[in-house]
Structure 1
Amino acid sequence: MAIRLMVDTCVWLDLAKDYREQPVITALEELIGSGDVELIVPQQVLDEFDRNKARIAEEARRGLQSHFRLVRLAVNRFGDNARRADLLAGLNEVDHRIGVDGDAVGESIERIDGLLRGVPALATNDGVKQRVTERALAKKAPYHRAKNSVGDAILVEIYADIVSTATADTPCAFITHNTKDFSDADGDFRQPHGDLAHLFEAPKSTYRIAMVEFLKEHSPDPLGDHDFEFNYSQEARRLSEILEAEHLLSRQVWYNRHWNLRTKIEKGEHEVVSEQDYSRNPYRADQTLDSVWELALAAAKKTEDEVGIENLGPWDDFEWGMLNGKLSALRWILGDDSDTLDA
Structure 2
Amino acid sequence: MTATNDPETPPDAEAGIKLRILVDTCVWLDVAKDYRQRATIAALQQMVESDAVELIVPRQVVEEFARNKDRIVAEAGRSLSSTIRRVKDALTALGGEDRKATLSQLDDADHQITTLGSAVNDSIGKVEALFAAAKIIETSNTAKLLAAERALDKRAPFHKSKNSMGDAILIELYAEALAGKPDGEALAFVTHNKQDFSNMGVDERRPHPDLAGLFDGTGSIYALNLAELLNDFAPEWMEELKFDYEWQQEPRRISEILEAEHLLFRQIWYNRHWNTRIAIEEGREKVVAEKDYSRSPYKPGEILDTVWAGALEAAKRTEEEVGLDNLGGPWSDFEWGMLNGKLSALRWILGDEWDMLDT
Residues 1:175 and 2:190 aligned together: yes
**Relative to 1, partners in 2 of residues 1:92 and 1:145: Cα closer, same or farther, differing over 3 Å?**
closer
Stretches (4+) displaced over 6 A: 79-85
Give the Cα separation in 1 of the matches to 2:107 and 2:158. 52
Match of 1:56 in 2: 72
Match of 2:60 in 1: 44
Match of 2:111 in 1: 94
Q: List gaps (5 residues or longer) in structure 2.
A: 1-16, 247-359
State the Cα distance separating 1:71 from its structure 2 match: 6.2
Residues 1:25 and 2:41 aligned together: yes
Compare relative contact order (CA 8 Å, sep 6+) and give the higher one, 1 or 2: 2
State the Cα distance separating 1:31 from its structure 2 match: 1.1
Residues 222-266 of structure 1, C-alpha deviations (whole Å, 9 max, x = no match): 2225779xx9xxxxxxxxxxxxxxxxxxxxxxxxxxxxxxxxxxx
Residues 1:223 and 2:238 aligned together: yes
Q: Please tell me the residue identity of whatever aligns with 1:123.
A: E
**Relative to 1, partners in 2 of residues 1:21 and 1:84: Cα closer, same or farther, differing over 3 Å?**
closer
Q: List gaps (5 residues or longer) in structure 1.
A: 232-343
Question: Which structure: larger Rg?
Answer: 2
**Relative to 1, partners in 2 of residues 1:181 and 1:82: Cα closer, same or farther, differing over 3 Å?**
closer
Out of 162, 166, 179, which is 1:151 matched to? 166
* Pairing of 1:181-330 with structure 2 (within 5 A): 181-224=196-239
Residues 159-191 of structure 1, C-alpha deviations (whole Å, 9 max, x = no match): 000000124512111111111111113421111
Q: Is the 8 A contact 1:166 1:204 kept in 2?
A: no
TM-score by length of 1: 0.59
Residues 95-122 of structure 1, C-alpha deviations (whole Å, 9 max, x = no match): 8x939x9421121111112112221211
TM-score by length of 2: 0.56
SS of alignment partner, residue 135 of structure 1: helix
Residues 139-168 of structure 1, C-alpha deviations (whole Å, 9 max, x = no match): 111111110100000001100000001245
Give the Cα separation in 2 of the matches to 1:30 and 1:225. 12
Q: Is the 8 A contact 1:75 1:88 kept in 2?
A: no
Match of 1:123 in 2: 138
SS of alignment partner, residue 38 of structure 1: strand
Give the Cα separation in 2 of the matches to 1:177 and 1:201. 19
RMSD: 3.0
**Relative to 1, partners in 2 of residues 1:104 and 1:78: Cα closer, same or farther, differing over 3 Å?**
farther
Q: Which moved more, 1:23-32 or 1:69-78?
A: 69-78
SS of alignment partner, residue 191 of structure 1: strand
State the Cα distance separating 1:84 from its structure 2 match: 9.1
**Relative to 1, partners in 2 of residues 1:197 and 1:75: Cα closer, same or farther, differing over 3 Å?**
same
Q: Is the 8 A contact 1:8 1:176 kept in 2?
A: yes
Residues 1:65 and 2:88 aligned together: no
Give the Cα separation in 1 of the matches to 2:239 and 2:168. 36
SS of alignment partner, residue 82 of structure 2: helix
Q: Is the 8 A contact 2:29 2:65 kept in 1?
A: yes
